Amino acid sequence: MSEDTAAVAAQKRERSPAVRQSGASGLLGSAAGRNAGLVVALVLLCIGGVVTAGDRFADVDNLLTILRLAAVIGVVSVGMTFVITGGGIDLSVGAIVALSSVWATTLATQGIANNTHWIVIVFTALVVGGACGLVNGVLIAYGRVVAFIATLASLAAARGLAEIISNRKTQIVNVPGFAAFFDASVLGVPVLVVIFALVAAGGWVLLNRTTFGRRTFAVGGNPEAARLAGIDVRRHTVWLYTLLGLCCGLAAVMLVARTTTGSATHGGLYELDAIAAVVIGGTLLTGGRGTIAGTVFGVLIFTTLSNVFTLNNLSISAQAVAKGAIIVVAVLLQQRLARRT
Amino acid sequence: MPLKRIAALAALALALTACTGNTPQNSGGGNQGGVKVANDEPGKKVVIGFSAPAADHGWMAAITNAAKAEAGKYSDVELRVVEGTNDVNLQISQVETFINDKVDAIVLLPFDGAALTPVALKAMKAGITVINVDRQFDSPFAARSTVLGDNHGMGVSAGNYICERLKGKTDAVVAEIAGIDSLPLTQDRSKGFAEALASCGLKVGNRVAAEFTVESGEKAAANLLQAARKIDAIWNHDDDQGVGVTAAIKNSGRNEFFMVGGAGSANVMREIKADNGPHKATVIYPSTQGADGIRLARLAVQGKSLGDLVEVEVPREVQLYAPVVTKDNVDRYLPTAFES
């Protein structure tokens, strides 16, 4: 009790600089200004899409195609926003997605799911993802292993374990109800997109409207000050990585639904896609400042980009160059905006 | 009108020359290989979407290039190529884009056949002719027609050739350098290889797996050469990774064995022809499957039959042969080989 009040009081002291940076309170002011660049970029991309592909781009089905593509990587990116805002990094997300997808689709899991309910698959993926995140968090917070190294190790280990469990084979899901649920639409919006929207909204509330979020900013901005302010920095770090692990588990469920398979090759290079989306969204890689809205824009910019390139028969290589250019331009713009305010 | 007649006559002449010999021709119009002239005449316009995995090795690059070249031969084909990706999530969205675009046909070489099955089913339901190339879907309803290489047959051909060459030597050490182990195609190749070797009393002594890339081939071969002090024959599943395998063999200075390649790249065939390296043979896995897919898609949409077959419709499945290329017959296969 007393510890809690001390923490809250300390946060109030800690809060003002961190919050001003995060733009959580002045949402309409600085946050809108910072997101303006992203909105402009997205609008420019859309104009580019309409000009080059016309009706093929500006079409409800095409919009849903973009959103479905964004959903899986989007859920991972929302989780990644928390870890990076908290001053960490996680390179193992793609591998955790692969491991969760494999573990959730083994014959044993499917057997149990067939005898009970398909929710077992979802539950397994979430538990596996969460456990991986927990291991990462404990290694980093209590084992004092640098996040970069700890998660690099998990990247190798988790994918290796996924290969061992699946025997490097693609596991096909034959659980009635599972695919039906995730293939469905709610009022014309695919379930996968609804999940992404819920995760993004939940993430926004958690980061900007709760004690957990404020602690995240404090821990990322200055861990020593946060510790002196009474926040259990290590425990909070473990929570952040576990949260990201859960997001990876959920992303694995979505990928399994989309492909009806679990495979050790799933989630290749998702770490780079997620980090890129978070960074161009305006979250500081050094921690202490983060925005869920920016991350969602970041994800949408990349998926819209690949959609426009697909519609115009342009190569993946050119797309990679454009992607790199966008990251550099976005970061340069952010630096200028940050200096001005 | 006279122009059209001249064109038709020219096409007929080409078709006749194509029928006079069995030697494959790698140039000329769209009617090589003895397809009926009527099939090549422009018909209803066909929009074909094409998607394949990332062109990270020569064979895969050749697949897309051959498909593009084939489509270019037909004035009634509009090909939309989305360039390759190894991310199944992205490849699914590419196919979804084709469905939104209401293309007539989709020629799909999936990164993972099972993972792309749901979206292929969706395309078929939308009335689009899906031609599945190389890596098979796990539902028979997901494609109108399937073009396959013979992976099992490759293993059998390679095994039989090694049996023949090592005749009588039952204590011979045979090594295998496989491709990506998680793919069913690799498992099929290895199964065929083991079966063929078993028929002459041999077995695979050492087996390693690479990933179709030069770098992975070098690594796998270096490990293999360390593990086995003496080898009599090696079968390497893939000539792209074979570039790395050959480099590792040269570095080790070993030459007590002979090597059989896989897929059939031009540089391995040139090595076989010059007889100046470890390769004495290679087993073909045609890199023209994508191009065959384009042809089948066009014929299926236009309601034409496959020339030379009596059947009225395009067949459900076309499986290509896996011949062994040696110094004796290399000239026949070199023109259609791919550059790695």
pLDDT tens-digit readout, A236-254: 999 999 999 999 999 999 9
Q: Please check whether residues B41 and B156 belong to one and the same domain.
A: no
Q: Please check whether residues B239 and B191 belong to one and the same domain.
A: yes
- Is B17 contained in some domain? yes
CA dist A259 and A72 (Å) reads 12
- Is B337 contained in some domain? no
- Is B338 contained in some domain? no
Q: Please check whether residues B6 and B118 belong to one and the same domain.
A: yes
A 73-102 → B contacts, CB under 8 A: 73
Q: How many angstroms away from the CA of A318 is the closest CA of chain B?
A: 10
pLDDT at A39: 86
CA dist B313 and B306 (Å) reads 7
Q: Is A52 on the interface with B (CB under 8 A)?
A: no
pLDDT tens-digit readout, A22-68: 444 344 445 556 677 788 889 988 999 999 888 888 888 899 989 99
pLDDT at A192: 95
Q: Which amino acid is at B183?
A: L
Helix, strand, or coil (residue B234): strand
- Is B324 contained in some domain? no
Neighbours of B195 (CB within 10 A): 14
pLDDT at A310: 81
Q: What is the percent of chain A where pLDDT is above 70? A: 88
Q: How many angstroms away from the CA of A315 is the closest CA of chain B?
A: 5
Please state the φ and ψ torsions of residue A189, each to the nearest 5 degrees. -100, 125
Q: Please check whether residues B129 and B174 belong to one and the same domain.
A: no
Is there a contact between B118 and A65 if contact means CB atoms under 8 Å apart? no
Is there a contact between B88 and A61 if contact means CB atoms under 8 Å apart? no
pLDDT at B8: 53
Q: Please check whether residues B231 and B298 belong to one and the same domain.
A: no
Residue from A255, A316, A317, A319 whose CB has the most chain B CBs within 10 Å, to mutate: A316
Q: Please check whether residues B310 and B279 belong to one and the same domain.
A: no
Find the mean pLDDT for residues A5-13: 43
CATH code, domain carrying B115: 3.40.50.2300
For residue A1, CA distances in Å to A9, A234, A256, A287, B332 come to 12, 19, 44, 29, 85
C-alpha radius of gyration, chain A, whole number: 20
pLDDT at A197: 97
For residue B272, CA distances in Å to B33, B145, B297 come to 25, 35, 35
A 288-327 → B contacts, CB under 8 A: 303, 306-307, 310-311, 313-317
Min mean pLDDT across A111-120, A330-339, B224-233 is at A330-339
CA dist A71 and A48 (Å) reads 22
CA dist A75 and A200 (Å) reads 7
pLDDT tens-digit readout, B188-197: 999 999 999 9
Chain B residues near residue A169 by CB distance under 8 angstroms: 182, 184, 187
CA dist B337 and A123 (Å) reads 49
User: Which domain does B79 fall in, by range?
Assistant: 2-148+289-319
Chain B residues near residue A72 by CB distance under 8 angstroms: 89
Find the mean pLDDT for residues A159-185: 89
Number of domains in chain B: 2
Q: Which chain A residue is nearest to residue B85, measuring alpha carbons? A: A316
Residue from B89, B96, B111, B207 whose CB has the most chain A CBs within 10 Å, to mutate: B89
- Is B333 contained in some domain? no
Question: B241 near B210, Cβ under 8 Å?
Answer: yes
Has residue A181 got a pLDDT over 50? yes
Report residue A60 as tokens.
């409800």
Q: Please check whether residues B90 and B178 belong to one and the same domain.
A: no
Report residue A90 as tokens.
């996680």
Beta carbons within 8 Å of B78's beta carbon, 6+ residues apart: B45, B46, B47, B48, B71
Is there a contact between B138 and A172 if contact means CB atoms under 8 Å apart? yes
**Number of CB pairs, chain A paired with chain B, less than 8 A apart:** 94
Q: Which chain A residue is nearest to residue B96, measuring alpha carbons? A: A65
- The beta-carbon neighbor of A172 closest among B111, B114, B182 is B114
First to last CA, chain B: 45
Range A189-196 contact pairs with CB under 8 angstroms and sequence separation of 24 or more: A189/A64, A190/A64, A190/A67, A190/A68, A190/A71, A192/A68, A192/A71, A192/A72, A192/A254, A192/A257, A192/A258, A193/A64, A193/A67, A193/A68, A193/A71, A195/A71, A195/A75, A195/A250, A195/A254, A196/A67, A196/A70, A196/A71, A196/A74, A196/A75
- Is B334 contained in some domain? no
DSSP B84: P
Residue from A178, A272, A310, A315 whose CB has the most chain B CBs within 10 Å, to mutate: A310
> Tell me, what's the ipTM?
0.75
Chain A residues near residue B101 by CB distance under 8 angstroms: 56, 311
Chain B residues near residue A263 by CB distance under 8 angstroms: 88, 112, 115, 182
Question: A208 near A21, Cβ under 8 Å?
Answer: no
Chain A residues near residue B97 by CB distance under 8 angstroms: 62, 65, 307, 310-311
Is there a contact between A170 and B115 if contact means CB atoms under 8 Å apart? yes
Chain B residues near residue A166 by CB distance under 8 angstroms: 182
- The beta-carbon neighbor of A259 closest among B88, B100, B187 is B88
Q: Please check whether residues B251 and B300 belong to one and the same domain.
A: no
A 118-157 → B contacts, CB under 8 A: none
Segments of chain B with pLDDT less than 70: 1-37
- Is B173 contained in some domain? yes
Has residue A138 got a pLDDT over 50? yes
Neighbours of A191 (CB within 10 A): 17
Q: Please check whether residues B309 and B217 belong to one and the same domain.
A: no
Q: How many angstroms away from the CA of A253 is the closest CA of chain B?
A: 13
Helix/strand/coil (H, E, C) string of B155-215?
HHHHHHHHHHHCCCCCCCCEEEEECCCCCHHHHHHHHHHHHHHHCCCCCEEEEEECCCCHH
Chain B residues near residue A306 by CB distance under 8 angstroms: 90, 93
Query: Which residue shows structure tokens 């002090």?
Result: B229
pLDDT at A5: 43
Average pLDDT over chain A, rounded to an integer: 87
Helix/strand/coil (H, E, C) string of chain A?
CHHHHHHHHHHHHHHHHHHHHHCCCCHHHHHHHHHHHHHHHHHHHHHHHHHHHHHHCCCHHHHHHHHHHHHHHHHHHHHHHHHHHCCCCCCCHHHHHHHHHHHCCCHHHHHHHHHCCCHHHHHHHHHHHHHHHHHHHHHHHCCCCCHHHHHHHHHHHHHHHHHHHHCCCCEECCCCCHHHHHHCEECCEEHHHHHHHHHHHHHHHHHHCCHHHHHHHHHHHCHHHHHHCCCCHHHHHHHHHHHHHHHHHHHHHHHHHHHCEECCCCCCCHHHHHHHHHHHHCCCCCCCCCCHHHHHHHHHHHHHHHHHHHHCCCCHHHHHHHHHHHHHHHHHHHHHHHHHC
Q: Please check whether residues B14 and B123 belong to one and the same domain.
A: yes
Is there a contact between A268 and B117 if contact means CB atoms under 8 Å apart? no
Q: Is A264 on the interface with B (CB under 8 A)?
A: yes
Chain A residues near residue B100 by CB distance under 8 angstroms: 56, 59, 61-62, 65
- Is B336 contained in some domain? no
B13, burial (CB in 10 Å: exposed 0-12, middle 13-18, buried 19+)? exposed
Is there a contact between B115 and A263 if contact means CB atoms under 8 Å apart? yes
CA dist A213 and A53 (Å) reads 41
Please state the φ and ψ torsions of residue B258, each to the nearest 5 degrees. -115, 160
Is there a contact between A166 and B182 if contact means CB atoms under 8 Å apart? yes
Is there a contact between B88 and A264 if contact means CB atoms under 8 Å apart? no
Q: Please check whether residues B21 and B74 belong to one and the same domain.
A: yes
Chain A residues near residue B82 by CB distance under 8 angstroms: 310, 313
Q: Please check whether residues B16 and B138 belong to one and the same domain.
A: yes
